[in-house]
Structure formats: C-alpha cells, structure tokens
Amino acid sequence: MKCPDCAGLLMDVTLTGIDKSYRCFNCGGVWAIAKTVNGLPAEDQSGQWQRIEVDPERLKTGDNRCPNDQTELEYYKGGLIPAEFKVRQCPVCHWWWWPTDSLFNFKPLQEARKKEKAKVRQLMPMMMAALVPLLSLVLLITGGVVGVRLLGQQQQVKVAAAQRLSEVAGIKFENGDATVTFVYAGEVKTAQVFLTDESKWVPVTVEKMEQNRYQISFGKTLAGGEEVRIRVNGEEAVVPFRSIKP
C-alpha cells in the first residue's frame, strides 16, 4: 500500500494493540479506521511514538489516493475533530489519513475539548434546578395569563432536562453515502431513520464509537431526501448535514 502524501510504502502497525493500522515511516502519516482512533488512550502518548521529521516538499510527491482502493481522499470535518487537524478520509472505505505526526497530538486535544463540553453539560441541570423555583415564584406573584404562559415555559424546561439525544450531526459524501453521529445518554435500544421519499420510518444499525457516541452509516438510502430525521429510543432529531468538499 502506498502513502497518499509521499508515495512511500505503508507498514503494518498497531495503535491500540488489537487494531491493524498502517504508518508511513518516510513522512509519519497514519492510516487507520475511526474506531481505532477513538479507541486510543486519552493521555498524551506522544513519548511512545517514533516522531518523524519530514521535508514539506516531500509531502507533495504522493497522489492523495486511498491506499486501499485508490479513491481520492477528502478533507474530513466534524464530530470531535478540532479544526486544526487536517484529517482526510476515503469516501469509499471511510478509513482516515492522519498526515505527518498529527494523530499523536490529536487525542490529548480531543480529550481537553470533551472535558470542556462535559463541564457545560454538568452545569445545565443545576441551572435548570435554579430556574424552576424562580419561575414558580414569578408565577405566584403575577398569576393570571402571564402565569399560564410561564407554566408552559416551566414544562419546557423539564422536557429539556430529560432529553438524552444530543450532538446530532451528519456528513454527506460526494458519492451519496452518508454518516450520522450522535451522543445518547444511555443505552441505544432502537434507532430509525425517516425516509422522506417513502414517508416511513425504517430501522437502522447503530455502531458504538466511544462512550455515549454512536454512528449510523447509510449507503444510498438517503438519496433524494432533503431533511433527514432520526429517532433513537423514540426521541427524534433533525440531522444537520454538511457535505464534504476537499
């Protein structure tokens, strides 16, 4: 298999001890599947990896083709990958290309970002808890029509707190394939997608990526549909899609 950056030969490596990944020892790039990358330990592992110095000119000698099937690689944006990582993905086999030593800087940065998000999530129920008595107090004081309106808001607050489905995002690839990722607080028992063309819900297979993050991969199932809706354990969400452009 050939390196998409420098045309060097890719060598078998294992990143987690059980995966089969590849690395170019000319330029440092790593070829791996999403599951492997997501399974990397959270701590800074940079000391364990051989760093490779590379002349940037050398990175232009490759053809940017998938080492598996020679499809042109496309820039991947989304999920929990910070913008500074120029990860590329094969739209056919969905393997990821991490140029130079970028993969080894990725996980610690991703963890930091996740912790930030978790902090906000932890604060939310406390804010809600503070809000409900406050609304009740206002309700007591004002009463009447205003009170009824506030009661509606109060109920909405409760619904929001019980919501378990979040961070729903989708990617459409140029070949028509699509993936949807989401976070679900709990075990996913059923998942469906709404097919606009046929006006019906159909069951889909969900793959667990990490902790509470899940992914659904679609073949041509979604072709034609403008708005995509998914339903996880009965909870519905509209999927905001972005298309991949290199």
Determine, following the binding rule CB under 5 A, whether residue 206 of this chain makes contact with Zn ion. Answer: no
CA distance 15 to 31: 11
Tell me how far the alpha carbon of residue 150 is from its chain's centroid. Answer: 36
10-29 residues near Zn ion, rule: CB under 5 A: 24, 26-27, 29
Provide, rounded to whole angstroms, the least separation between the CB of residue 19 and Zn ion.
17
Determine, following the binding rule CB under 5 A, whether residue 183 of this chain makes contact with Zn ion. Answer: no
Which stretches within 143-177 are classed as H helix? 144-162
Let me know: does 68 contact 62? Beta carbons within 8 Å: no
What are the structure tokens assigned to 132, written together?
């409900």
What are the structure tokens assigned to 62, written together?
């490759």
Residue 12 β-bridge partners: 22
What are the structure tokens assigned to 180, written together?
């949807």
Q: Which of 13, 92, 169, 237 binds Zn ion (CB under 5 A)?
A: 92
What are the structure tokens assigned to 197, written together?
């063309």
Determine, following the binding rule CB under 5 A, whether residue 90 of this chain makes contact with Zn ion. Answer: yes
CA distance 238 to 1: 39
Determine, following the binding rule CB under 5 A, whether residue 101 of this chain makes contact with Zn ion. Answer: no
Determine, following the binding rule CB under 5 A, whether residue 230 of this chain makes contact with Zn ion. Answer: no
Judged by beta carbon, residue 4 or residue 170, the one nearer Zn ion is: 4
Q: Which of 93, 129, 160, 238 binds Zn ion (CB under 5 A)?
A: 93
Provide, rounded to whole angstroms, the least separation between the CB of residue 97 and Zn ion.
10
Provide, rounded to whole angstroms, the least separation between the CB of residue 102 and Zn ion.
13
Q: Which of 5, 74, 101, 177 binds Zn ion (CB under 5 A)?
A: 5
CA distance 36 to 24: 17
The SS3 call for residue 47 is: helix
Determine, following the binding rule CB under 5 A, whether residue 131 of this chain makes contact with Zn ion. Answer: no
Determine, following the binding rule CB under 5 A, whether residue 64 of this chain makes contact with Zn ion. Answer: no
Determine, following the binding rule CB under 5 A, whether residue 150 of this chain makes contact with Zn ion. Answer: no
Applying CB under 5 A, the residues found at the interface with Zn ion are 3, 5-6, 8, 24, 26-27, 29, 66, 68-69, 90, 92-93
